[in-house]
Amino acid sequence: MRRAASMVHQIFQFVQLGLALADFHAARRETGSYGFFYAYRVLEDVGYHFGVTKGDHPDWHAMNKALKTSKQKWDPLVNAGTSARHLSQEKLKQLAQADSGRLLALAREAITLFIEHLRITP
């Protein structure tokens, strides 16, 4: 219990991590297209930790550099999240064919890499 309490205390020192965990929880619960929206928000939450660009977007470049990832890695999550955010009939059809398990796994990986970057340990 002490190790768990220590980890929770460490996690909530980082606002973006708390937001990412909450959005991941929402993504897992949501059965419709909003699940993709919340999964993408996980990535956004992580990205904002690394800064904001002039367009008020997360600093994706800084995030990818710190996490040793690439834009291409996150593209499926970004594309699904953008489609869910700006729904149309065509985008609904695309989302119906999306691999929700893969997208949730990407969101989970973003959190895992972020925690490793922050060096939070139980």
**Residue with the larger pLDDT of the pair 117 and 2:** 117
Averaged pLDDT for residues 84-95: 71
In whole numbers, what is the pLDDT of the chain averaged over residues? 86
* pTM, to two decimals: 0.84
pLDDT tens string 23-75: 999 999 987 788 889 999 999 999 999 999 988 999 999 999 999 999 999 99
Q: What is the DSSP string of the chain?
A: -HHHHHHHHHHTTSHHHHHHHHHHHHHHH--STHHHHHHHHHHHHHHHHT-B-TTS-B-HHHHHHHHT--HHHHHHHHHHHHHHHT--HHHHHHHHTS-HHHHHHHHHHHHHHHHHHHT---
